[in-house]
Structure 1
Amino acid sequence: MNVFAALDWLFSTQFFGIKLGLENTEKLLAAAGADRPEATVVHVAGTNGKGSTCAMIEALARAQGYVTGLFTSPHLVEFSERIRVNGNMISPEALAEEITFLKELAEAWEQPPTFFELALAVALRHFRKSGVNFIILETGLGGRLDATNAVPKDIAVLAPIGLDHQQYLGDTLAQIAAEKAAIIAPGKPAVTAAQHPEAMAVIEQTARERHSPLTVARMSRETPRPSLPGAHQRENAALALETMKQLHALSSLADAGAALAGVQWPGRFERLASPALVLDGAHNEHAARVLAATWREEFPGKKAALVFAASADKHIRDMIPVLREIAGEWHLVPCTSPRIMPPEELASLLAELETGPVFIHSSLPEGLHAALASPLPSLAAGSLFLLGDLKALLLHAEKRSTAQ
């Protein structure tokens, strides 16, 4: 198969849905020869900041001379964004080769692999062939039953935990923390960001039960400032630094600072020059608060012309009062994802909460044009699906949408 046919088949496997559990993942990875990576493996879970933390760990590892493999999700525009070796996305040729192999391997199984399981297998096989010796895996959903938890790890890393994906992970912070803390491996070290006391109690208990040395990463005046804006990114940097320290792979703070100064991660207060636009994947209340604080730092005294879309399964009512603090105008737009709340429904919700001027747009280009024409600085925020659609629009690229 060429890469287009290969991706067509891979994306068709989304119809199998999300299957939480590790038995089929373990079967797939073993059959694919990808179950025992010959590399240091860092496993990262959490609700907010996972991607940025992964990017920082990868930069620090690469600065130490490791050959790095980074597996993240979801992608914004191209599937290849999920799988990187030393910062470079997997090539179309390698992608086609790995997907073709896995299709022939597992397509006829009674319980076929899911999209996410296949993506993980593609990544691990590509990492092995590329001589990767340092792997960073970002969980897709939760932790305990996430496919990435089938991979043996050297350290577990917990970014800030909040309420999200409750239909899968539980209704309370303690339940969600238990799902995410379950990536902690017996006898292996774990590092956590500072957490809400309810979440921290669960993490500490899990670490004790598994005899895992637990370290809480805390920002200090010595913590280097990463290139990513916002005070929260310094906290993510502290988490990345502590992770490398626990692996005995941290160089001097000066070298670490130079590595962190070059980190880029799309969709996290990402500033575009042309058009002048900020992109931020603030998809829940915690992320919205971080966005609002960062906006006030970067644009003091200014409100935003906000292009907004959010998934219907998110706590949109909790996000709106936070974003209202920085939104001078709301431009509601449709997205390609079926999970997005229609603009008309979102407008009704905003009307109940008295948010100020609200504009409903029939298309994303129309909404973007209106926001850019505003005298206010432009911000696109909410769902990562919105950011992916926007990037595809601006790049004149074809986007393959996914819910995973």
Structure 2
Amino acid sequence: MTWLNYWGRVHVTGIDLGLERVLPVAEKLQVLTPKAKIITVAGTNGKGSTTTTISSILNQAGYRVGLYQSPHIYHFNERVKISGEESTDSELIEAFVKVDQARRECGLSLSFFEATTLAAFLIFAQRECDVWVLEVGLGGRLDVVNIIDPDLAVITNIGLDHIDWLGDTIEKIAFEKAGIIRTNIPVVFAGQQALPKAIIQKAEKENAILHVLNRDYFYQENSDHWVFSSSGVTLTLPKGNLAIENISTAVAAVALSGLNVSDTAIKVGVEQAKIAGRFEVRKIKNKMVVFDAGHNPHGVEFLLNQLHKFQQCNTQYTDVVTVFSMLADKDIETVTILLKPVVSLWKIAALDAPRAAKLENIYNAIKDEDVQQFKTIADAFQSALNNAQDHQIILVCGSFHTLEAVWEYIESCP
């Protein structure tokens, strides 16, 4: 925790897009040209599930996979995994020391995300990972993950999020996401919308080959399985624990990776892939609780689709109580509008986090609904847990920070 606090204070801002400062430090650490196969995943939503599934499949295929994701839900070590296992505290501390020494020698400051990403790269290099699966933190073109040239790029979808940094239109955001495309590499685009011009233009400029959902690869969901198909392969696969849309993107990426992966490895990898906070269903004190980190309209639409499917299969749950909060720079009004038809009771509190939305702003966005206000998210969740009826689902959502606060409460309880 001391090192994480340190990286939070070293640089003047938490988010500082651009590669000028980080590149000299990366060069000194010798992480810019890894011997591994590099798969980079950008997009507005679905990155976590996609990278998790790619990693799970490749682990089953016998590769040593370094998986980098952000943000974490419960503790920082989740961000850096090797062969499915979280990095240890000692391993991270050793990497942080080296990153700090390198940035001091360069006379540069690094943001929290830049420093911790370089530490992950250093660990993957030292552990001689065969494949690095890298989730872009913000955008693509100017994100620190993009200092590494990928052999395969994946763009999960494009939505309006982080507009202060990435732009206020789909095309502007697509331009940033397209920044991960490199010359002559395969590129998977999994967006449900029309292929943005910015991605087409970048792919043409780099002579990269686009593989587009519902044009070059397809998925068909059935009651107890689903089918993936492309020009090269047709597979019948188990449903797994994650959204089929994201699993299919991962399978498409693996099929294009050039790695030796059997059908069995794909099936087992899909079945075993799990990620915290992505429609994570748990029983807590005999109450049904769903955790979902969706924090923008597209993510919440995805959440509601998953919730609908869950209730169709579990008809005893007819009512939803939500423990809810968001960050101030998110589209609170649209998110709450989407949730209102489903939620019967809101339990809200302000987050204890930078950029937290004020409680009154959350309350005003919900309006006229059945709303209870609490001092903390922990208090809101405790109330939900104590009072939920057998027919009610407790839905914890709105932000990664909301989930983190509830997890900390659960951990502290006997």
> Of residues 349, 359, 362 in structure 2, which corresponds to 1:346?
362
Q: Is the 8 A contact 2:155 2:191 kept in 1?
A: no
**Residue correspondence of structure 1 range 148-167 to structure 2 within 5 A:** 148-167=145-164
Q: How many Å apart are 1:48 and its aligned residue?
A: 0.6
Checking the alignment, whether the CA contact within 8 Å between 1:74 and 1:82 is kept in structure 2 is yes
Is 1:82–2:79 an aligned residue pair? yes
Structure 1 residues 337-376: aligned runs within 5 Å = 337-351=353-367, 354=368, 356-372=369-385, 373-375=387-389, 376=392
Q: Which amino acid aligns with 1:242?
A: A
**C-alpha RMSD of the superposition:** 1.8
What are the residue-to-residue correspondences of 1:200-219 with 2, within 5 Å? 200-217=196-213, 218-219=218-219
Percent identical pairs in the alignment equals 28
Show the counterpart of 1:279: 291
- Alignment partners' CA distance in 2, 1:182 and 1:315: 25
Q: Is the 8 A contact 2:58 2:269 kept in 1?
A: no
- Counterpart CA distance in 1 for 2:20 and 2:357 is 34
Residue in structure 1 matched with residue 233 of structure 2 by the alignment: none
Residue 338 of structure 1 deviates from its aligned partner by: 2.5
Q: Which letter maps to 2:334?
A: D
| TM-score normalised per structure 2 | 0.89
SS in 2 for 1:44: strand
| C-alpha separation in 1, matches of 2:191 and 2:354 | 35
Matched with 1:400 is: none
Distance across 2 between alignment mates of 1:203 and 1:303: 41
Map of 2:249 onto structure 1: 239
- How many residue pairs are counted as aligned between the two chains? 387
Following superposition, the deviation at residue 14 of structure 1 comes to: 5.2
Distance 1:6 1:307 in 2: 31
Residues in 1 aligned to 2:134 and 2:37: alpha-carbon distance in whole angstroms: 11
Ranges in structure 2 where 5+ consecutive residues have no aligned partner: 221-225, 229-236
Q: Which amino acid aligns with 1:9?
A: Y
Q: Which residue of 1 aligns with 2:174?
A: 177
1:263-309 deviation per Cα after TM superposition (whole angstroms, max 9, x unaligned): 11010011122243110011011111111111111124623100000
By how many angstroms is 1:312 displaced? 1.0
* Change in 2 beyond 3 A, CA 1:285/1:250: farther
* One of 202, 206, 222 as aligned partner of 2:227: 222
CA–CA separation in structure 2 for the residues paired with 1:17 and 1:371: 33
Query: Is residue 256 of structure 2 the alignment partner of residue 256 of structure 1?
Result: no
CA distance in structure 2 between the partners assigned to 1:118 and 1:254 by the alignment: 38
Determine helix, strand or coil for the equivalent of 1:157. Answer: strand
1:5-24 equivalent positions in 2, closer than 5 A: 5-13=2-10, 15-24=12-21
- Give secondary structure in 2 for the equivalent of 1:107: helix
Distance 2:67 2:265 in 1: 21
CA-to-aligned-CA distance 1:133-166 (integer Å, 9 cap, x gap)? 1001111100010111111210110001100000
Question: 1:50 is matched with which residue: 31, 39, 47?
Answer: 47
**Whole-Å separation in 1 of the counterparts to 2:150 and 2:265:** 26
Greater displacement, 8-17 / 252-261: 8-17
Are residue 319 (structure 1) and residue 335 (structure 2) matched?
Answer: yes
Specify the alignment match of 2:186 in structure 1. Answer: 189
Cα distance between partner residues in 1 of 2:196 and 2:304: 25
C-alpha displacement of 1:216: 1.3
Tell whether the 8 Å contact from 1:344 to 1:360 is kept in structure 2 after alignment: no
TM superposition score normalised by structure 1: 0.91
- SS of the residue corresponding to residue 140 of structure 2 reads coil
SS in 2 for 1:59: helix
CA distance in 2, matches of 1:81, 1:44: 17
Moved more, 188-197 or 150-159: 188-197
